[in-house]
Amino acid sequence: MTGKDTKIFRDPIHGNIRIFSFELNIIDLKVFQRLRYLKQTPSVAYVFHSANHTRFEHSIGALHISEMYARNLNISDPEKELLRLCALLHDIGHGVFSHQYDETIYKEIYPETKHGHDEHKMKIIKDYLPEILLEAYDEAELERSIKLSGLQEYLTSSIDESIRTIMNKVVEILKSEGEVFYNIIHGPFGCDRMDFIKRDSYFSGTCHYGGFPLDRFILFSSIREDSNGNEILCYSSKILDDILLLLINRFQMFKNVYFHKTCRGLDLMLQQILRYSMKPLNLVERTVNLEEFEKLNDNSLFYEIFCHLQDSDELEKAHKLIDRILKRDLYKTVIDEAELLTQDQIKKYTAPGFLKMLAENRKAALKRLYEKEKKDECPELFIDTPYEIRMSPLQELLKSNIDIYDETENVVKKYHDIENERSLRTFDIKSFNIYRIYTTSGIEREKLDPYAKSIMKRKEPEIDTQI
């Protein structure tokens, strides 16, 4: 492949990244370019001021790590290029304010799905990309790009059919949870996670949380057979300490950066902005219409609200929230609790379910006490999404169908076998279960503070209702 058929992207995390011809065809499309205007961590930038990086550079970084994996695992074209395309496109379905779109707009479109952006990306890859690639480039150029990128095996007399075949292969990989290629992309040590921890920690000014040895994870990865003869992704027992380090780093990023109380307060405000904007700006319909969806991004939504705020009371409310964000008048925590749950509670309710019930109880009790004592309506209260942050290698690896290759015995083992043999349980960290209750301002928090303290001193009544 000549220099004219590739480009070098200079990346602050990985250095020089080579991008091939067919990948460039995709990157130059508006539906991919919109990722430049979606912050990777929308609320984090308001606390960690340099965290203004986007899903565009994260997608390029994930592609680079997939290439590293492919080289080490001797994966050749066309599978290698399919793997690169999976990494490149893994975030293409994200909406405005990223995960806050999942909590609002995507819940309307995909009510049965936790992460709506994953469902949406499948539609984009399978149905929309073939169509717009053929509109943007002539068939001869696409045929040449496909050949130069190592995908000539999928070329037929119909370029449309060829591209659809390639995109269907990409979707198959992205849906094959537990399989080798899926774990290379989305596994606990996959391209997505390793890039975002490195990148987010770098731009958040918390580089120490990104200090795990990426190249060592790649070097000591392998594809082997499990006891049933199925191919699985394995990591050498030589990097057990590195595995623990990465999981600890991820744990600390969630605890101290992603779920920083101010970041989460701002997330609640962004969710409300999306809810207020949903109907007047037709966000559900425009998301389903992929031509309209590619016009939506973090910047465009604020602009639309500013332009149309006179058209709707809901947009006026959204505008007031935006104004507060710009003035850094953010929601404030009233109750901020980390709970160490018992095994009985987790078995009965699941950790997030129990935390949600606990938060609802606290909120109701706080409201009752305030209104009883003050004889006035309680300030508005919001419950943050309760979150369980885990750091158990056993949970991570069992869930993902990843094993450890024991270098001393030359056999594949489950992590718990290695863990028991080497007494690694001493390094395990209990899950961090957190819930928060917010109010709208510092003034309201001062009003609520004595009542919140009184509530927190009480013994929590037994919870019998499962959510």
Q: What is the pLDDT of residues 28-84, one digit of tens each?
A: 999 999 999 999 999 999 999 999 999 999 999 999 999 999 999 999 999 999 999
Residue that finishes a domain, picked among 158, 176, 205: 205
pLDDT band at 353 (very low <50, low <70, confident <90, very high): confident
CA angle 320, 326, 52 (to 5 degrees): 130
Q: Is residue 321 assigned to a domain? A: no
Residue 340: domain span: 331-392+428-467
Q: Is residue 306 assigned to a domain? A: no
**Number of structural domains in the chain:** 2
> Residue 140: exposed, middle, or buried by beta-carbon count in 10 A (0-12, 13-18, 19+)?
exposed
Q: Is residue 240 assigned to a domain? A: no
Residue that finishes a domain, picked among 189, 205, 221: 205
Indicate whether 18 and 162 sit together in one domain.
yes
Give the span between the Cα atoms of 200 and 42, in whole angstroms: 11
pLDDT band at 387 (very low <50, low <70, confident <90, very high): confident
Q: Is residue 224 assigned to a domain? A: no
Average pLDDT, the chain: 90
pLDDT for 459 equals 57
pLDDT for 399 equals 80
Q: Is residue 301 assigned to a domain? A: no
Indicate whether 196 and 338 sit together in one domain.
no
pLDDT for 283 equals 98
Indicate whether 31 and 172 sit together in one domain.
yes
Q: Is residue 283 assigned to a domain? A: no
pLDDT for 464 equals 44
Residue that finishes a domain, picked among 205, 232, 260: 205
Indicate whether 199 and 336 sit together in one domain.
no
pLDDT over 90 (residue 272): yes
Q: What is the mean pLDDT of residues 413-434?
A: 68
Q: Is residue 243 assigned to a domain? A: no
Q: What is the pLDDT of residues 434-461, one digit of tens each?
A: 889 999 999 999 999 999 999 887 655 4
330 is written with which tokens?
């953010």
Indicate whether 165 and 18 sit together in one domain.
yes
- Which CATH number fits the domain that encloses residue 135? 1.10.3210.10
pLDDT for 424 equals 55
Q: Is residue 20 assigned to a domain? A: yes
